[in-house]
Amino acid sequence: MSSVLAPGDFWIAAGHHLCDLDDEGRLRATPDLWRAFLARPELVPPPEACDAERALHAALMAEPLAAADPTALADPDAAENWQVFLRFRDRVAAHPTLEAAWVALFREGVAGIPPIFLQMLTQLVVRAALNGVSDPVVLRAAECLFRPQRAAITQGATLLADQEIVDSRAEDGDLGPLGRMLTEAGAPPREVELDVIGEDKAHLYWARSDAHDFALDIAEKREGATALGTAIAALLRHVLGLSVTIRHVPVIEDKNWTWHVGLDAEATRIANGLWDGKKIKQAELARILWLGVMEIADDTRIIPRMRGKPVYLALAMDVAQVVRMKPQNLITGLPLS
């Protein structure tokens, strides 16, 4: 069954409408989805491309899953690029669904796969996981799973805004005060010109979901803090069939803290340091923006020593105030049996 565009749809650019769905709502790649990958500027032959590369691209656009040999291309860099794409295509196509491929890729290793391909695949998987979700704040929070964010802490708010959007506005000189605050550490906040999603703005999300131009507040007791946990739980339910509850907490005070997952490289480094008993500087601790407590419903899915115990989650910004969430850390880092 193919998904179709409908009122209330979101992230149209993800390409989910180019996929088929299995009986469990998981995505099956179609030739049209692979044509969307082939239409990326990274793969469209440039004006100086040789005839062999143009022929290769045309043949794959006609039959996206056909065997291809790029070794005859005149440009060795182009040949290598095509080999990278074809290996990625074949690894994904070896699985019945995109979800199964996404899990397998990160468990087996993604070295050599361009980040843009992984981002496209992750967005597709997250889009399927949130199919039917009607809360725009949860959808905006889920954007963090596949798009880097710039962070700013001000007046009790912990704001995340899409890095690409902020950087683009910086180049155009059209930042507004919030944008400047997100790009320059210590810039004084004034009037907020980027919309922060909430009850009064949520209805605008549907028309702007592909613009990624809403900011999200994940401070304690804000909608965004809860929504981030909801989005993560939906992803785990969809890709692993794992039922979890996640609640946001301001601090971890568990003396019997047994297991944690850093949701990005910085949070992983800081949490591991604390776990190892190292003294972490206050400035580094301040980079932790969000903490969550996860409880897994089915004890049989968990390794015996973790049954009945929570898993702690942490999300942090780096020294440049950028948040690069890695949802794949959940796939490889949870204490599953």
pLDDT (tens digit per residue) in 55-70 = 999 999 999 999 999 9
Strands 311-316 and 260-262, bridge-based pairing = parallel
Q: Is the pLDDT of residue 155 over 90?
A: no
Joined tokens for residue 39: 């239409």
Residue matched to tokens 């060795």: 76
> In whole angstroms, what separates CA 213 from the centre of its chain?
16
Residue 4 has pLDDT above 50, yes or no: no
Higher pLDDT, 2 or 170: 170
The pairs formed by 67-74 with CB atoms below 8 angstroms and a separation of 24 or more are 74/50
Instruction: Please give the average per-residue pLDDT across 238-254, as a whole number.
Output: 93
CB neighbourhood size of 133 (10 A): 16
C-beta separation of 27 from 21 below 8 A: yes
Tell me phi and psi for residue 103, to 5 degrees. Answer: -65, -45
End-to-end CA distance of the chain: 33
Residue written as token pair 């592909």: 210
Residue 101, amino acid: A
Least confident range from 1-15, 146-160, 214-228, 229-243: namely 1-15
Positive or negative, the CA dihedral 168, 171, 173, 179 is: positive
Ramachandran angles phi, psi of 272, nearest 5°: -65, -40
> What's residue 191's pLDDT?
34
Q: Mean pLDDT across the chain, nearest whole number?
A: 90
pLDDT digits over 315-336, tens only?
A: 999 999 999 999 999 999 999 9
